[in-house]
Structure 1
Amino acid sequence: MASIWVGHRGTIKDYPGFSPSVDAEAIRKAIRGIGTNEDSLINILTERSNAQRQLIVKEYLTAYEKELKDDLKGDLSGHFKHLMVGLVTPPAVFDAKQLKKSMKGTGTDEDALIEILTTRTSRQMKEVSQAYYTIYKKSLGDAISSETSGDFRKALLTLADGRRDESLKVDEHLAKKDAQILYNAGENKWGTDEDKFTEILCLRSFPQLKLTFDEYKNISQKDIEDSIKGELSGHFEDLLLAIVRCVRSIPAFLAERLHCSLKGAGTDEFTLNRIMISRSEIDLLDIRYEFKKHYGYSLYSAIKSDTSGDYENTLLKICGGDD
Structure 2
Amino acid sequence: MEIHDILSEVCLGSDELSDGATVKPLANFNAEKEAAELDHALKVKGLDEHTLIDILTRCSNAQRQDIAFHYERSTKYKLEDRLQKALSDPLKSVILALMKTPDKYDASEMRGAIKGLGTNEDTLIEILCSRTNQQISDMAASYLELYKKDMIKDVKEDTSGHFAKLLCILAKGNRPDPSNVVDNELIDMDARALYEATAKNCVHDMDKWITIMTERSIPHLRKVFGRYKCYSCYDMLESVEREVKKDLKNNFLGLVQCILNTPAFFAEKLSNLQGNLKKDILTRIMVSRSEIDLVFIKKEFKKKTGKSLHQFITASTKGDYQRVLLALCRGDD
TM-score by length of 2: 0.92
Matched residue, 2:281: 271
- 2:257 matched to 1:215? no
Aligned to 1:79: 90
Deviates more, 1:199-208 or 1:83-92: 199-208
Name structure 1 gaps, 5 residues minimum. Answer: none
Contact 1:110 1:235 in 2 (8 A): no
Cα deviation code 1:95-128 (max 9, x no counterpart): 0001111122331111111111111111111111
- State how far apart, in whole Å, the 2-side matches of 1:168 and 1:97 are: 33
2:55 to 19, 44, 51: 44
Q: Which amino acid aligns with 2:320?
A: D
The equivalent position to 1:244 in structure 2, one of 249, 252, 256, is 256
| Residues 102, 112 of structure 1: 8 Å contact kept | yes
CA distance in 2, matches of 1:64, 1:173: 63
- Relative distance call for 1:308 and 1:29 in structure 2 (3 A) is same
Q: Is the aligned partner of 1:66 residue 2:68?
A: no
Structure 2 residue ranges without an equivalent (≥5): 1-9
- Give CA deviations for 1:67-115 in whole Å, capped at 9, x if unaligned: 1111111000011000001111100000000111112233111111111
Matches within 5 A, 1:169-180: 169=180, 170-180=182-192
Cα distance in structure 1, aligned partners of 2:260 and 2:111: 28
Q: Is the counterpart of residue 206 in structure 1 residue 206 in structure 2?
A: no
Match of 1:160 in 2: 171
Residue deviations 1:148-205 (CA, integer Å, cap 9, x gap): 1000000000111101112143422211111122223332763111111101111211
Q: Distance in 1 between matches of 2:275 and 2:179?
A: 39
Whole-Å separation in 2 of the counterparts to 1:6 and 1:310 = 29
Give 2:40's match in structure 1, choosing from 18, 29, 34.
29
Say if 2:77 is the partner of 1:55: no
1: CA distance between counterparts of 2:191 and 2:321? 46
Q: Deviations over 1:21-69 (max 9, x none)?
A: 1011111111012111111101110000011111111111211121111
Structure 2 CA distance for aligned equivalents of residues 236 and 286 of structure 1: 28
1:136 is matched with: 147
Cα distance change of structure 1 residues 188 and 108 upon mapping to structure 2, 3 Å threshold: closer
How many residues get paired? 320
Q: For 2:72 and 2:272, locate their aligned partners in 1 and report how far apart those are by CA, in whole Å.
A: 38
Distance in 1 of aligned mates of 2:219 and 2:245: 26
Aligned-pair CA distance for 1:320 = 0.4
Aligned match of 1:113 = 124
Distance in 2 between residues matched to 1:248 and 1:227, nearest whole Å: 14
Q: In structure 1, what is the Cα distance between the partners aligned to 2:254 and 2:183? A: 23
Q: Which of 5, 11, 25 is 2:22 aligned to?
A: 11
Query: Would you identify which runs of 4 or more consecutive aligned residues in structure 1 move more than 6 Å?
Result: none
Distance 1:117 1:224 in 2: 20
Is the Cα–Cα contact under 8 Å of residues 26 and 58 in structure 2 kept in the other structure? yes
Equivalent AA in structure 2 for residue 72 of structure 1: L
Q: CA deviation at 1:4?
A: 4.7
Quick check: 1:254 aligned with 2:266?
A: yes
Matches within 5 A, 1:272-287: 272-287=282-297
Distance 1:235 1:205, change over 3 A: farther
Deviation at 1:255, TM superposition (A): 0.7
Correspondence for 1:227? 239
Amino acid at match of 2:287: I
Residues 1:291 and 2:301 are matched in the alignment: yes
**Equivalent position amino acid for 1:258 in 2:** L
Shift of 1:225: 2.1
Q: Matched residues in 1 for 2:96 and 2:116: separation?
A: 22
Report SS of the residue matched to 1:77: coil
